[in-house]
Every structure is written in C-alpha cells, then in structure tokens.
Amino acid sequence: MSISLDLLYATKDLVERLRGLHFAEPVSHVYNPLEYAWATHEMYVSRFGNTTKRVLFLGMNPGPWGMVQTGVPFGEVSIVRDWMGISAKIGKPVKEHPKRLVEGFDCKKSEVSGRRLWGLFSEQYPQVEDFFRHHYVVNYCPLVWMEASSRNRTPDKIPGAEMAPVSAACDAYLAEHLRRMEPDVVIGIGGFAEACLKRVTEKAEIEVKIGRILHPSPANPSANRDWAGTVRRQLGELGVSLEA
C-alpha cells in the first residue's frame, strides 16, 4: 500500500474518532474540514504525501479563512488553487455559524498565517513539486471550535476532559505520519505543535530531531515583524535549508 493511501486511511479513522464528541459552552459550533472538504484534502495527500520526507512541519488546527475553506493545512485560497493546483466544490459543516460561512474557493478573505507560510515556501519553490519532494505540512487537529460570538477557541483553551479523546485520536494520526514519512526533522509551527511533537515521539518511541518556528498568526506580535526573515534564521539554526 502506498504512503498516501495509508495516510488517507488514518485520516478517515481520525474523522470517525472525532465525530459526535461533545463540547460544552462557550463552544457553540465545531467544524471539521476533513468531512465537508474531503475532496480537496484527498487531493493534497494523494499528490504531495506519497513519499518519505526530509522535513515535516506541524500546525495546530485550521484557520477560518484557510483550511476551513479549502481543506488544506494553512490553505490560503489563492495559493492552494494557483500554486498547488488544487480546487473542487467544498461542502458545508452540519451546523454553520452565520459569521463564519464556508464559501470554499469563492472565499475572498485572506488567511494571513497561510499567506505567510505558503508564501515563503512558494517564493523559494516556484514549482510546487520541488517543495513537496522533501517537505510536507500537516495539522495536528482538524477541528475548529467557535463561540456563539464566532470567536475562535484554540485547542489549548478546551477543557482537559473534553480534549482528552481529541488528543488521543490526533496523537495516533500524527504518529502515523511520522512512521510513514520517516522525516529527519519535525518542526512545530508554534509552541503548541512543538509540544505535541515531543509528546507523540516520546510515546511512540520515534527518534527524530524536533524544532520550532515562529507561528505566522497576526495575533502573535512577533510574527508581524519580518516573520519570513525570522523563520529563515530559525530553520537555518535547525540545519534546514529551503533549497531544492
């Protein structure tokens, strides 16, 4: 069986394990793009996840104008469509928040985190295959939690008892990526992702170099001051060169 097929089976298992979980107030809506945007996520994994990788980047969970719309981690619409060559009709979550509509590739809002991350990679690798030959990006968790006001709640803000089954499922999903892709270096995009990598590699007894880069979210003040330059320096310190 191919690596991408193994990862797609792991993804379907993740979806099943997360389906039907209950989250108390203030959470009012929960999205899982791996359900309603499966077509594009399957394209992403099939096209770019079918080989071992030198470097695996791990994000936290989907952003409202990125993966929520496209099904691709950090999936800024224009970059997913024009650089990755991925586009398809996107469905709807079962319960949609009126202030966080899923418009798919018709979404006009920009996912700043995705624009920064994929912008850096696409600038260095104009041909998308050159980036994915040795690198891959995956999110730890596919769920998006929102309050009634539409305010986002990140995984670290979900109570421990509610997060436990989510973490168990997502840990297994991440471990499968590590086993199948056999990276030399795994890099957390932000502190939460780095902590997940440390926990999962220790539990699964996987020996790999672990690092972290600055999260590109505009909510992070440090990311608004030459994020790309900072990340290039951090990658250099990890021995990761953005060269083909």
Instruction: Give the per-residue pLDDT at 243.
Output: 73
* C-alpha to C-alpha distance for 88 and 103, rounded to whole angstroms: 12
Instruction: Give the per-residue pLDDT at 241.
Output: 85
Instruction: Give the per-residue pLDDT at 166.
Output: 98
Instruction: Give the per-residue pLDDT at 244.
Output: 58
Enumerate residues 6+ apart whose C-beta is below 8 A from 207: 201
Instruction: Give the per-residue pLDDT at 242.
Output: 82
Instruction: Give the per-residue pLDDT at 116.
Output: 98
Instruction: Give the per-residue pLDDT at 7.
Output: 98
| 10-residue stretch averages of pLDDT, the chain, 244 residues long | 95 97 97 98 98 98 98 98 98 96 98 98 97 98 97 94 98 98 98 98 97 96 96 96 74
Q: Does pTM top 0.75 for this prediction?
A: yes
Enumerate residues 6+ apart whose C-beta is below 8 A from 212: 187, 188, 189, 190, 191, 193, 194, 234
Instruction: Give the per-residue pLDDT at 85.
Output: 98
Q: Does 3.40.1080.10 match the CATH number of domain 3-237? A: no
